[in-house]
Structure 1
Amino acid sequence: MLVSNKLLVDNDCPMCKAYGACFTRFNLVDNNTISPYQKTNEAFVNDIDLDRAKNEIALHDTQTHQTLYGLDALIKITTHKSQLFKAIAEFMYPFLFRLYKLISFNRKVIYPSANTAVGRDCTPDFNLKYRLVYIILVALFTGVVLHEYSVSIYSFFGWESSWFLEIVVCVGQIIWQYVAVKAFRKKNNEALEYLGNMSTVSLIGGLLLSPVLIIQSFVVLPVLVLVGYFFVVVSLMLLEHIRRCKLKKFPTLLSASWVLYRMGVLVFILTIFI
């Protein structure tokens, strides 16, 4: 167990608080290690780069006054009990570093929350590269899942499924909603903030559909079940989209635009295949 350390976490970020609690629960750190960034004691903040700590969690050793940031901090916490895990983490460091950056810079669109914490602002810097990478990766993942999910449905009706079509649908929604949000919000960062949240909604949908793909590899499910479950997932996605728009104060009409695009795609597909 690590002692005499302070791990600064964003008290307004549910993900940050969750993994901080896990570190404590599994005795990787002592009960006094987790410290909210917003209210961290002034006694040792002079040894910490607070601007960097917004983007990368800071692990400060109160005895040596040294501070580790981001992935280095996580590796120290999670591998200090095992040399094997440490060697694996060091081997995978280039990949883990990019993954950490991707999640860190997008954490507010992955799991948004109302800014309720009192004290220092811990909002990460906006990073265009990692925001675009996140949006593109989610679109590709969702396109793949939709294709695999729709194969059985399409074949039942004698239609041909297409990877290209599903990718175009996912990318098309990004373009469609970007135009819609720009009509209300002129700042590009605000548009990309919305698209990041919308991408997470799509990611949630893809993750909810994925278990069915696993089941389908063992059991052939009736088409009615597949279609029914698909519409349940879309309904949940819509509710989450509305919730995020309210939470982040995005225009309500963006949810209507989101539905309109989905309905337009459905009509377009039916027009092609019927």
Structure 2
Amino acid sequence: MKTLNNHTLLYDEDCPLCNIYTSGFIKVKMLDENGRKSYASIIKEEQNYIDFNRAKNEIALVDTQNKKVFYGIDSLLKVIGTSFPWIEKIGNWKPINYGLKKVYKFISYNRKVIAPSVIKNKNTTECVPDFNVKYRMFYILFANFFTAIILFQYAKMITLLPKANFGREILLAIGQIGFQYLFIQKLDKQKQLNYIGNLVTVSVMGSLVLLPILLLNQFVIINEYLILGWFGLTVSIMILEHFRRIKLLELPKYLTMTWVLYRIIALLIILNS
């Protein structure tokens, strides 16, 4: 790999994804040993040429010699492009670059509901992205649709349940949000959408856990009791993950109980349909 020297990425130290790919750049020597720095450690002098607020939403790559700064997808293309110029060339083609920037923003604006972190003291400098309603709503819709597809395919493998129906899975996903909303009405709109974002992320995680069995079933016949057992294990993992996120968000713990209650009610309705 060709190393991009004298450049530093300002990353969110509380973001698992940011930690993984920035440290990865250094390990494979795309960046030198000083190639990343926590956003929280930006010094006053650096704020003269770094857009402090923009760097919260789009990871900043600082040219430490020329004091030039790249943001978001442009910073990543700069790092990768040093080792693979053809990737940077394709990525900078206007139609591709436009799409990459939209995908980047979709992930960046939702990274705190994809991987939440502990709420720190208000006086602590945090790399928290701006709250963007458009991208949050798009994420919620995407997560519901993805979850419904996986659950629909998984339900088709369980003959003990009524015949699988994609519309039913969509309604169940939307219904979960509506049911939980009854218990978060007193929160402000931002906290409501932050919780709902975490809620659908738990559903996506559950779907990803089901995916290996779904794929394996395309090649071998899997015992239905194993399929049911795996589903039960997945639900248990989701309950624990929901509870973990509730604690991180400092929200009432009973929200996990209402989450479980909805699942029980939904199952009873399915079995009696």
TM-score range, shorter chain: over 0.9
SS at match of 1:80: helix
Counterpart of 1:218?
A: 219
SS at match of 2:182: helix
Deviation at 1:268, TM superposition (A): 0.2
Deviation at 1:78, TM superposition (A): 1.4
> What are the Cα deviations for residues 154-182 of structure 1, in whole angstroms up to 9, with x where unaligned?
xx248321111111111111121122211
Counterpart of 1:129?
A: 134
Instruction: Assess if the C-alpha contact under 8 Å between 1:2 and 1:77 holds in 2.
Output: yes
Deviation at 1:88, TM superposition (A): 3.2
Deviation at 1:98, TM superposition (A): 1.3
User: What amino acid does structure 1 have at the position aligned with 2:117?
Assistant: S
SS at match of 1:266: helix
Counterpart of 1:2?
A: 4
Q: Give identity over the alignment, percent.
A: 38
Deviation at 1:113, TM superposition (A): 1.2
User: What amino acid does structure 2 have at the position aligned with 1:106?
Assistant: N
Distance in 2 (CA, whole Å) between partners of 1:202 and 1:108 is: 16
Counterpart of 2:81?
A: 79
Counterpart of 1:159?
A: 162
- Unaligned 5+ runs, structure 1: none
SS at match of 1:2: coil
Deviation at 1:94, TM superposition (A): 2.3
Counterpart of 1:48?
A: 50
Counterpart of 1:248?
A: 249
Distance in 1 (CA, whole Å) between partners of 2:160 and 2:52 is: 58
What's the RMSD between the two structures over aligned residues? 1.5
Instruction: Assess if the C-alpha contact under 8 Å between 1:44 and 1:62 holds in 2.
Output: no
Going from structure 1 to structure 2, the CA distance change for 1:158 and 1:210 (only over 3 Å counts) comes to: closer
SS at match of 2:272: helix
**Equivalent residue pairs, number:** 268
Instruction: Assess if the C-alpha contact under 8 Å between 1:39 and 1:119 holds in 2.
Output: no
- Unaligned 5+ runs, structure 2: none
SS at match of 1:181: coil
Deviation at 1:43, TM superposition (A): 3.2
Whichever structure has more helix as a proportion of its residues is 1
Counterpart of 1:176?
A: 179
